[in-house]
Structure 1
Amino acid sequence: MKHVIIFSGALDNVGDLALLQSCVEGLRRQSDFAFAQIWSYCWGDVPETAKMALERMDVAPISGKSIKPYTLLGPDTLLLWGGGQLLRNNASNNSLRAAEALSRLAILTGAKTAVIGCGVSELSADKVKRYRRIFKNADLFAVREDFSVVGAAPLLKKVKPVVTQDLAFSFGALWEPYTADSNRTSLLVAPCEDDSEQRTVDDEQILQLILAAKHRYPNLATEFISHDVRPHMDPAVCQKLSIALSQKDISSTQNSSLILSEVLRTYERSHLVVTNRMHAAIFAYARGCAVIIVDDGNPKTRAIAKKLGLVTVPVSETNRSKLEDAIDRAEKVKASTTRRDTLDKMRATSESNFDLLRKAVRKESTNTILEDLTSA
């Protein structure tokens, strides 16, 4: 391949940056893509910090609003939807029209199209039609969880969806060595409020969870982290919760970094993580933290909680004894001896995305890999 154009999520979200890094590293470990120029296709503006991250990956940003992507198409080009909840109902129609035009030209020029490790949310009839026009000729469509198969099936004509794993579990910074269980000094809260996805946290519940945790671990500092750094997103809810804590004479700090290594160090120093974000839960689990997931009804967060055996509490639960029980159960999961085995299995399944991709691009049979995934 000469060019790989990766459709990235919003690069003002550290989870999406982590997925992009894993995707890039996975591609470069495959001989078919090792020397390709890799592009990050973005619809919105790329934050300066994200641009620096792309530069470190040797990835060039490319705007979906420009003509540049169209000039790169040809038989040695791959359009890759590489991880994250990229197929979603709140995607703008303009961005989908541009992706549709690019996909139509890809067919005419012989370029390949593939999806790996993606989530598919519940889609409206209009969005189903738009995504079907984009993916009807896809060479591979691998999703990260079972419920995404249901959303993916109506979009496809050439292939059937297969279940692999989220790209966060494959290659990348998540697997770099760290000093386990040393200097765990903080209680970390990673909240998400997003009206477009019906994501929410209950302020009173989070406060009660923090108070219960502070009673159990009086020496832990309270820290908030924003995975999505857009001002109206995570920083707004972190600020709101921080103010509410200050009224109870509890100090806190806030972290809004897009530098993945810095974010992972934040998790490494955290004893307990409270979140309703999928990738915050993955980061916390991989870095040995106790984890409580606030269940706001989002299927992708529920799916990862089930896969990793994480403790969940309903978003409206404020009963102190039940919250304390959740903390106790999270401690038991943290101490589990099966955590490493679980991560290793997740990693192997996630890395199979790239084996499937290589075979799909070469038009080789993927049956053996699919049989292994089914048996696992």
Structure 2
Amino acid sequence: MPASPLDAVGSPARGRVRRQVFVCGDLHNLGDLKLLLQNLALTEGRGGIVRRWAPLPAEIERQVITAGGELVSGRAVLGFARRAFGAQIVLGGGQLVRDNVSIAALVGLLLAIVSARLGGGALVTRGLGVSVIRSPLRRALWQAILAQCGVVNLRDEGSSKNLERLFPGKARAVHADMVFLPTGGAHAIIPGGGPRRWIIVAPCADPSEGRSIEGDALDAVVARALDRLPGAGLAIACHDPRACMDKAVAARLVARWPDREITVFDGYDLARLVTLYREAALVVTNRLHALIFAILADAPALAVEDGTAKVRVVADRFDVPVLPREGRTAAGACLDAALSFDRLSRRRMRQNLALSAARNL
């Protein structure tokens, strides 16, 4: 059986429950916010310290505080290390081992882990995503950080391969993305029983990786979807609502489709985003957690190929059709496949991955 959340941090029979310090992704991204709120839900009301690096919108801070999190700046390196003394540091879930993390952030994290261990604490990982690390200095710092935990718990095979390149021979276990683990609260994503009234486009743009959802294939599949689902409205879901991120893509899509009536969801309220997915008649996305949100909500989903392996892995596992970004001629067949998905098979896979995600604990 999967370990209980209490087993992960100690039980009265085995010693005192340690304070937890959560090191998460960028909380401007609502996928990373969901992963953090799940971690806080697993504390069963004890809450914990949440490291933040950049200033956050008030709405994000409200959700973290309501869930029991105490936001502490990681930029105050020594102060954060003192707060971490003797704690259990939880790294993940999410794609945190990246090549674009600042050197200051990595040094600060390493000092906090050393402080935690000096006080009898530890570093644990949950559903960690690992990218290719090319910078020699970042490689050395990530090796030093990950050396502090016994086993690195990973979310997928791609992360396992990248970890082997980064840290050959490091003990690892491949489980599943933590977002598949059911937890309570307003952030919980469950199949909705109400009307399916939205065709959702959830973009992810990353110019550094050449990622984009925009193209002729998206135009074609949206046009066909509006014909096939005449009662559904068209919505753009901004998982990272900053002006320079998804909101910029949303503005381009609104300009690209001037004859469409489009609703843009560009706030930081995770519960509102979850409700949107529960009401989805179709989700079209190149974003990993948007695809998983659709799967958890039992909504038809279609992935747009942008060269990102992590999206393809989840799409293949759940038999979600993948549309080439310039594959206009394939739009009809992909839409048909998306709308006629096997609900029973998908439910079984969700259950399997929920069990696998629990093993991260």
Return the TM-score normalized by structure 1.
0.85
Provide the rounded CA distance (Å) in 2 between the counterparts of 1:303 and 1:178: 22
Query: Which runs of structure 2 are paired with 1:16-55 in the superposition (5 Å)?
Result: 16-28=32-44, 35=46, 37-55=47-65
Give the letter for the 2:345 counterpart: T
CA contact (8 A) 2:60 2:268 kept: yes
The residue aligned with 1:348 is 355
**Separation (CA, whole Å) in 1 of partners of 2:115 and 2:334:** 52
Matches within 5 A, 1:203-352: 203-246=215-258, 249-319=259-329, 322-333=330-341, 335-352=342-359
1:99-110 superposed matches below 5 A: 99-110=109-120
Partner secondary structure for residue 33 of structure 2: helix
1:159 deviates by: 5.2
In 2, Cα distance between the equivalents of 1:122 and 1:159? 15
Distance between the aligned counterparts of 2:123 and 2:106, measured in 1?
15
Offset from partner CA, 1:241-267 (integer Å, 9 cap, x none): 011111xx1110100132222111111
Residues 67-113 of structure 1: per-residue CA shift (max 9 Å, x gap): 332112333x1111120111112222222222233234444443311
Evaluate the alpha carbon distance shift between residue 94 and residue 74 of structure 1 in structure 2; reply closer, same or farther with a 3 A threshold: closer
Q: CA deviation at 1:175?
A: 4.6
The whole-number CA distance in structure 2 between the counterparts of 1:109 and 1:242 is 54
2:190 and 2:237 mapped to 1: Cα distance?
22
1:109 and 1:26 mapped to 2: Cα distance?
A: 23
Q: Number of paired residues?
A: 341
Aligned residues of 1:62 and 1:68 also touching (Cα < 8 A): no
SS at match of 1:258: coil
Shift of 1:45: 1.2
In structure 1, stretches of 5+ residues that fail to align are 29-33, 355-376
Residues 1-10 or 142-151, more deviating? 1-10
* Residue 25 of structure 1, CA deviation: 2.0
Which residue, 91, 95, 106 being the options, matches 1:81? 91
Alignment partner of 2:282: what SS? strand
CA distance in 1, matches of 2:274, 2:290: 10
CA distance in 1, matches of 2:208, 2:18: 37
Structure 1 pair 22/343, CA: closer, same or farther in 2 (3 Å)?
Answer: same
**Aligned counterpart in structure 1 of residue 68 of structure 2, from 50, 58, 67:** 58
| Aligned counterparts of 1:138 and 1:198: Cα–Cα separation in 2 | 33
CA distance, structure 2, for counterparts of residue 202 and residue 257 of structure 1 = 21
Residue 160 (str. 1) matches residue 176 (str. 2):
no
Contact 1:39–1:60 (CA under 8 A) maintained in structure 2: yes
Stretch moving more, 340-349 or 168-177: 168-177
Per-residue deviation, 1:202:
2.5
From 189, 192, 202, the counterpart of 1:179: 192
User: What secondary structure sits across from 2:88 in the alignment?
Assistant: strand
Q: Are 2:8 and 1:8 aligned?
A: no
Runs of 4+ in structure 1 over 4 Å off: 154-159, 173-178
Distance, in Å, in 2 between the alignment partners of 1:266 and 1:351 is: 26
Residues 121 and 148 of structure 1 are in contact (CA less than 8 Å); yes or no, is this contact kept in structure 2? yes
Counterparts of 1:155 and 1:3 in 2: how far apart (Å)?
30
Coordinate RMSD, CA, aligned: 2.0
- Rounded to whole Å, the distance in 1 between the matches of 2:106 and 2:210 is 21
Distance in 2 (CA, whole Å) between partners of 1:290 and 1:195 is 28
Give the aligned residue type for 1:330. Answer: A
| 1:128 and 1:154 in contact (8 A); partners too | no
Decide whether aligned partners of structure 1 residues 176 and 212 sit closer, same or farther in structure 2, where only a CA change above 3 A counts: closer
Identity of aligned residues (%): 24
**Most deviating of 38-47 and 121-130:** 121-130
Shift in Å at residue 157 of structure 1?
8.3
Amino acid paired to 1:113: L
Gaps of 5+ in 2: 1-16
Work out the CA distance in 2 between the residues paired with 1:104 and 1:211.
55
Query: What is the distance in 2 between the residues matched to 1:60 and 1:234?
Result: 27
**TM-score normalised by the chain length of structure 2:** 0.89
Write 1 or 2 for the structure with the bigger share of helix.
1
C-alpha distance 176-280 of structure 1, shift in aligned 2 (>3 A): closer
Tell me the amino acid that sits aligned with residue 152 of structure 1: L
Are residues 1:144 and 2:151 paired? no
Three-state SS of the structure 1 residue aligned to 2:129 is strand
Deviation at residue 233 of structure 1 after TM alignment? 0.4
C-alpha deviations, 1:304-325, integer Å up to 9, x for none? 1122221111122122xx1011
